[in-house]
Structure formats: C-alpha cells, structure tokens
C-alpha cells in the first residue's frame, strides 16, 4: 500500500493505480471552533473520471499533528470512475490556537485489490471559549405598538427591526376585537428586550423572566408588583441578537423591573449542564418623562390670605394629564377652603400655564409654602411637592399671636423651587395604559370646579 498527500495514490515506485482517489478540501463546521466545541469535518472523497477501476472506500479518518487518530468512519462506500461520496468526522479541542489536522481516505481497488491511501491537511484556528450574553431593555408606551391607522403593529414606532414576538402580560397575545369593535392594546406595559450574544459559543435554551417591585419617590424598593415568564426565546448564535417584547401586564405603580435571561452555552450540553447561566437588565416602568416645574412665583397679600401666583411648566418630554395644583401641608401653612386647589388639566411637553393658590400663612413659623402637583402619566398617578419661599415675618407676629406677616404690595420672587418629595398613587380605571387627551386650558388654567380663574 502506498500513500500520496492530496491527489491520488501510487502503488509501488512508478506504477499509477487503476483507481485514482482524491480527497477534496475539508470543510469545518463551525469554521472557527472554540475550545470544547464539537466540530464537524466534512470530507468529500472522489474517484477521478480517468480512473480505470472502481474502488471501495473502506475508511476515512482524521489525525492530529502527533499522528493520533481523533475519529474515523468505516465502510464508507464504493466509487465508480467519476463518482464521489461524503463523510463526516467529529472532534473537539482542549486548547486554543492553530491546529493542523490530516484527513486520510483508504480505498481498495477493484482490479488489483490493492489498498491505496490518500490524505489532505487542513488547519483550524481554535478560539478560547467565552460565554457571554448581553441583555438590553427599553420601556415602551402601549401606543408605540400601534400603527398610524390605529391597528396593531409590534414594530410600528420602535425604530428597530427584527421583533420576533410578544410574550406574556394581561393582553400580550390578544389580537382580537372587543365588544365595541375596537382593537384592545396589544400590550398593557410593553418592554422591548434585546438578547445579544457577545461570546464565542451559541447560547441555547434561552428563556426570559421579568420581576418588578414598586419604587417610591426616594427610590426605595417596595412590594412585588409584577412577575411574568419564563418565556422561551430562540437560540442565539455568536454575534447574533433576538428582539422580543415582554408585556408586564397591568401596572398601576412605577416599578423597577429586572429581566433575567437564563441560558446555557452550546458546549454545556455535552456536560449535561442545564440552563443555569444568567444575564440581567433592569428598567424602570413606566418611564416618567414629564417633569413639572414652578417658575415666576409671586406672593401677594389679600384679605383672604396669601396668594401664590406662579406658572406651572412641563420641562419634560411626556404629557401630564389630570393635573391639579394644591397647597401642601407644612408648619404655619394651611390652604383656604376656596383657593387652595387649582385644576390645570393637560400639560404637554414644554407647555406652561398660570395658576394661583390662596393659603393662610403664619409668617413666624412658615419657612416655605409647599406647592403639591398631582398628575397622571402613562396610567400612573404621581404627586410631587415643590417648595417656594414663604413670606418674611415683620417682627410683630409673636406679639400678635402668630398672625400673617406683612408682604410688600409688589410681591416677592421665589423662582427656582426645589423638589422636596414624590409619591406614587395607583390610578383606578386607567391601569398601565397611557392616557392621551386633548389640551385643557391654554396659557391659563381652570379651577377644579371648572370655573375660570
């Protein structure tokens, strides 16, 4: 038996074998394997069309640089002149780096019965194993999932492509019509989740779970508000990503939501390892995009008390609806029965509206007048308190038993109010769905009873 690398074998010193066997280029799958990853070597063995004899391929094998046989297949098949056949060999690598392999094919000629062996070398670059899954989350508005004509469209206004599906929640998979013939929101509280494989091996058995806890104005965690999942996502190959929408269901409190992806590396399956690897990302839902601010404050004294005359502005990008401005609780401050609350209504991004509140103030004890702003954004009720400087005492208040301090008729400025507190309250009847209404009022507001200011 004689051996020739690459093309066909030569029996003896000068004789050309009747069967001219060749091994084609070796294809590796994956082409850039990692340490521990099972790698397939796809081999094509051919009998040249100019051969004078058929051949029976008895074995195809692969050796490492030290000559050790890593894998072999036997009884591969018979080849007439001009025919070819395929074989697959398997191997793994314990260390990264350049690996030189030799694939050999052994054939028995039909005319002489002589065995010939042909071979071909191939070089693979083995990468170190890196298991890494990156999880990215983005809070969406339910309106983001609707097309311009009002229909349901999960990719309508997301600005990205490749949304693979919508999972979970109260209305996550409901695409039918309601009793009034209107399509319900496709999701109550949608969060876009992007799973990115930044490693060198496939992440499989990927599943997502979302757990949320209520967050108050000081950022302290409260009770659990949502728990959905697990939801199965397709396997993610190295460099690939999957985008899905997870519906958190009805939420009436702002929540810190942690999305966890459980998965295993492709190489883990050979070690009988379960999907115990994890990646996490946290998002606040809903995102509070409105930002109330009080400016141009003037205090003036009237027979009914101190009037706080100011502008309420929205410095954020979200819409404030059902907005009410009122006098908060503080030492030496009490709202009057008729002037302590002002109904603003809807305030869009960069809008402002004037308001006035009347309060009784004991200037000797009142350091500030709290202005409380209650509004709704994306189905969640917020109450924020901003403080404006109170009137200065005229020095006679202690003797007068704590009466109202005197204020100049021109008033006093108190712009640049500082937020002192924030509370979240559930909004009945509009849970988890953004409220979108027309603008109420203009540059002036209306009192809660609907009368003009």
Residue 224's pLDDT band (cuts 50, 70, 90): confident
Are β-strands 163-167 and 241-247 bridged in parallel, bridged antiparallel, or unpaired?
A: parallel
Q: pTM (2 decimals)? A: 0.55
For residues 93 and 30, the answer to whether their CB atoms sit within 8 Å is no
Mean pLDDT of the chain: 76
- CA-closest candidate to residue 328, choices 386, 375, 273: 386
- Helices of type H across 298-337: none
The backbone torsions φ and ψ at residue 343, rounded to the nearest 5 degrees and listed phi first, read -95, 120
The backbone torsions φ and ψ at residue 249, rounded to the nearest 5 degrees and listed phi first, read 85, -175
For residue 182, pLDDT beyond 60 = no
Ordered domains of the chain (ranges, CATH): 2-126 (2.60.40.10), 133-285 (2.60.40), 292-426 (2.60.40)
- Determine the average pLDDT of the residues in 141-159: 59
- Determine the average pLDDT of the residues in 223-237: 89
Q: How many other C-beta atoms are found inside a 10 Å radius of the C-beta of residue 317?
A: 12
CA dihedral angle for residue 349, residue 351, residue 354, residue 358, rounded to 10 degrees:
0
Are β-strands 352-361 and 305-314 bridged in parallel, bridged antiparallel, or unpaired?
A: antiparallel
For residues 119 and 70, the answer to whether their CB atoms sit within 8 Å is no
Q: Which two tokens stand for residue 177?
A: 């019509």
Report the C-alpha gap between 374 and 355 in whole angstroms.
14
Lowest-pLDDT range, 45-59, 102-116, 151-165, 284-298? 151-165
Cβ within 8 Å of residue 63, ≥6 positions away:
69, 70, 101, 102, 104
Report the C-alpha gap between 313 and 110 in whole angstroms.
94
Lowest-pLDDT range, 214-218, 227-231, 233-237? 214-218
Are β-strands 115-126 and 2-5 bridged in parallel, bridged antiparallel, or unpaired?
A: parallel
Determine what percent of the chain is predicted with pLDDT higher than 90.
Answer: 34
Q: Which pLDDT tens digit goes with each residue over 272-286?
A: 788 889 999 999 988
User: What is the model's pLDDT at position 2?
Assistant: 40
Q: Which residue has the higher pLDDT, 343 or 170?
A: 343
Q: Which residue has the higher pLDDT, 418 or 252?
A: 252
For residue 15, pLDDT beyond 80 = no
For residues 100 and 123, the answer to whether their CB atoms sit within 8 Å is yes
- Determine the average pLDDT of the residues in 123-139: 91
């Amino acid at each position: 038996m004689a051996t020739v690398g690459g093309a066909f074998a030569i029996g003896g010193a000068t004789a050309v074998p009747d069967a001219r066997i060749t091994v084609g280029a070796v294809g590796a799958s994956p082409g850039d394997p990692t340490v521990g990853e099972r790698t397939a070597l796809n081999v094509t063995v051919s009998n040249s069309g100019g051969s004078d004899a058929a051949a029976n391929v008895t074995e195809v094998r692969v050796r490492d640089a030290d000559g050790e046989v890593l894998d072999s297949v036997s009884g591969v098949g018979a080849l007439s002149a001009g025919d070819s056949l395929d074989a697959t060999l398997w191997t793994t690598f314990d260390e990264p780096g350049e690996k030189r392999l030799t694939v050999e094919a052994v054939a028995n000629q039909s005319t002489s019965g002589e065995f010939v062996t042909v071979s071909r070398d191939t070089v693979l670059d083995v990468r170190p194993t890196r298991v890494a899954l990156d999880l990215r989350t983005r809070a969406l508005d339910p309106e983001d999932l609707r097309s311009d004509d009002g229909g349901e469209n999960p990719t309508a206004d997301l600005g990205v492509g490749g949304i693979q599906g919508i999972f979970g929640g109260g209305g996550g998979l409901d695409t039918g019509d309601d009793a009034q013939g209107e399509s319900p929101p496709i999701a109550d509280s949608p969060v876009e989740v992007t799973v990115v494989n930044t490693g060198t091996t496939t992440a499989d058995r990927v599943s997502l779970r979302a757990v949320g806890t209520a967050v108050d104005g000081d950022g302290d965690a409260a009770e659990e508000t949502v728990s959905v999942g697990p939801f199965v996502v397709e396997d993610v190959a190295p460099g690939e990503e999957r985008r899905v929408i997870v519906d958190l269901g009805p939420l009436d409190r702002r929540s810190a939501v942690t999305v966890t992806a459980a998965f295993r590396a492709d190489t883990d399956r050979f070690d009988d390892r379960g999907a115990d690897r994890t990646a996490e990302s946290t998002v606040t839902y809903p995102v509070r995009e409105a930002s109330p601010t009080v400016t141009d404050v003037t205090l003036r004294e009237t027979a009914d008390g101190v009037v706080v005359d100011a502008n309420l502005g929205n410095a954020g990008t979200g819409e404030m609806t059902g907005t009410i401005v009122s006098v908060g609780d503080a030492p030496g401050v009490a709202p009057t029965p008729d002037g302590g609350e002002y109904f603003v209504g809807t305030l869009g991004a960069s809008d402002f509206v004037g308001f006035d509140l009347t309060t009784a103030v004991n200037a000797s004890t009142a350091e500030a007048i709290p202005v409380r702003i209650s509004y709704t954004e994306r189905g969640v009720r917020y109450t924020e308190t901003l403080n404006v400087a109170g009137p200065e005492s005229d020095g006679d208040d202690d003797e007068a038993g704590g009466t109202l301090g005197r204020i100049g008729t021109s008033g006093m400025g108190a712009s640049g109010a500082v937020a002192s507190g924030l509370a979240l309250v559930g909004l009945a009847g509009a849970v988890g769905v953004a409220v979108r209404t027309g603008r109420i009022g203009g540059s002036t507001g209306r009192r809660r009873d609907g009368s003009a200011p």
